[in-house]
């Protein structure tokens, strides 16, 4: 089974480069540049890894990290 990765990154160039590299290594990748939508994506997809920008709009990366850690899933 392919590793699942969610990339939460506001800069499109960085997000695209990360996604391209991860996909080439066999990962299933989802991208989002907004904190609120990104948190929903993490909850929906249940990824193995989240690559998290700290300066996201909507909800910043620090808060997303706290919310992911406190989620009982």
CB-hemisphere CA count at 13 Å for 41?
A: 22
What pTM did the predictor assign?
Answer: 0.92
Distance CA 32, CA 16 (A): 11
Q: What is the chain's pLDDT, residue by residue, as a tens digit (73 residues)?
A: 899 999 999 999 999 999 999 999 999 999 999 999 999 999 999 999 999 999 999 999 999 999 999 986 5
**pLDDT score recorded for residue 65:** 95
C-alpha closest to that of 37 among 17, 55, 54, 56? 56
**pLDDT score recorded for residue 2:** 95
């Amino acid at each position: 089974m392919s590793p699942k990765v969610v990339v939460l990154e506001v800069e499109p160039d960085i997000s695209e480069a990360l996604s391209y590299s991860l996909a080439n290594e066999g990962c299933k990748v989802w991208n989002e540049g907004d904190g609120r939508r990104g948190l929903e994506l993490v909850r929906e997809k249940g990824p193995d890894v989240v690559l998290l920008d700290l300066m996201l709009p909507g909800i910043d990366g620090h808060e997303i990290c706290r919310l992911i850690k406190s989620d009982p899933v």
